[in-house]
Structure 1
Amino acid sequence: MPLSNVSVLNYSRERTASCISFILPGSIWRALQAEAFTVQDCWALRQTQAHWVGDPRTELLCGHVTSDSSSVPSYLCVPVFAQGETLGLLHLRRVKEESASPENADSIDSCLNLATAVAEETGLALANLRVRDTLHEQSIRDPLTGLYNRRFLEEFLLRELARADRKKHALSIITLDIDHFKRINDTLGHGAGDIVLRRVGLLLQGYVRESDIACRVGGEEFSLLLPEASMQIAAPRAENIRAGVHELRLKYDGHNLGAITISLGVAAFPEHGTTPDTLIRAADQALYDAKSRGRDRVASA
Structure 2
Amino acid sequence: MRYFFALLLLSWNFYGFGQQRKIIDVHFHTRSAGDYGPLPPPNPVTGKRPDAATNEAILNTNYGLLRQNHVVKAICSGTLKRNADFIVRDPERFISSLEFPDHQNNPLPDTFTFRKLIVDKKILVFGELGLQYEGRTLDESEYEPYLAICERYGIPVAVHTGIGPPETPYRGSPKFSIDAGRPSHLEPVLKKYPKLKLQMMHAGYPYLEETKAILTVYPQVYADISVINWVLPKAEFHVYLKALLTAGFGKRLMYGSDQMIWEDAIPLSIKNIESATFLSGRQKEDLFYNNAARFFCIK
- In which range does the TM-score fall when normalised by the shorter chain? under 0.3
Higher-strand-fraction structure? 1
Computing the radius of gyration from Cα coordinates, the structure with the larger value is 1
Q: Which has the higher contact order (CA 8 A, sep 6+)?
A: 2
TM-score normalised to structure 2 length:
0.21
